[in-house]
Chain A
Amino acid sequence: EAGVVQSPRYKIIEKKQPVAFWCNPISGHNTLYWYRQNLGQGPELLIRYENEEAVDDSQLPKDRFSAERLKGVDSTLKIQPAELGDSAVYLCASSGGFGETQYFGPGTRLLVL
């Protein structure tokens, strides 16, 4: 069974440019998470989806970050405009539902110059 798929794996952009990350969760997983992992730190939750609904976006910087999960499957996380401090690894995870194990993708490493 395929795991969580993320693309691109690496992205280098200049500050003030937009960037988007894509995630395809494990088939059948209704819950999808986006995390940000700064260098030398643990992941921090940005947003959690239950199917199409964003049920926890309290940590998402809404002035520049947006996310969507159309049709309750794939998800896209966008940053516009990017700032130097956004350089990090953006991880997507999915689970079969509330209270179940989260499976992480390999992440997208973003470098903002």
Chain B
Amino acid sequence: QQQVKQSPQSLIVQKGGISIINCAYENTAFDYFPWYQQFPGKGPALLIAIRPDVSEKKEGRFTISFNKSAKQFSLHIMDSQPGDSATYFCAASVGGYNKLIFGAGTRLAVHP
């Protein structure tokens, strides 16, 4: 019940395209859903986050869509750029950042 399932495992997108990464969870007590971006040799960095009282949050080219009834949330990267090539992790927690449960990650490659 603590798992967060992420898909796809890897994703290849052409420059300018839309990248979509999906996550699903079981624990209905989760109330915070962040996305982290990780470049090789670096630690994860917070990209964008959402709480379940809203269905969508947008920051620049990054949008989180949240479907509470389906227990799913997704990250959309609009106008994907080669610099977006990284591994993306969804996560979930109860009570903010108390204990983050991470998905397995999606390796995104954006080709020029």
Contacts and interface: CB of A to CB of B under 8 A. Distances in A.
A107 B43 contact: yes
Contacts of B89: 42-43
Interface stretch (B14-22, B58-66, B72-80, B99-107): B99-107
B97 to A, nearest CB: 5
Chain A interface bracket (under 10, 10 to 19, 20 to 34, 35 or more): 20 to 34
Contacts of A98: 95-98
B44 interface: yes
Main secondary structure, interface of A, reads loop
B54 interface: no
A99 B104 contact: no
A104 B45 contact: yes
B50 interface: no
A106 interface: yes
Contact of A41 (B41, B96, B100, B104): B104
A113 to B, nearest CB: 21
Contact of A95 (B97, B99, B104): B97
B104 A42 contact: yes
A99 B43 contact: no
A4 interface: yes
Contact of B105 (A40, A45, A91, A106): A40
A99 B97 contact: yes
B105 A4 contact: no
A62 to B, nearest CB: 18
Among B41, B97, B98, the one with the most A-chain Cβ atoms within 10 Å of its Cβ is B97
A44 interface: yes
B91 interface: yes
A104 B44 CA distance: 6
A110 interface: no
A105 interface: yes
Interface string A46-73: 0010000000100000000000000000
The 3 closest A-B pairs by CB, nearest first: A42-B102, A104-B43, A99-B96
Interface of B: 4, 6, 41-46, 89, 91, 95-100, 102-105
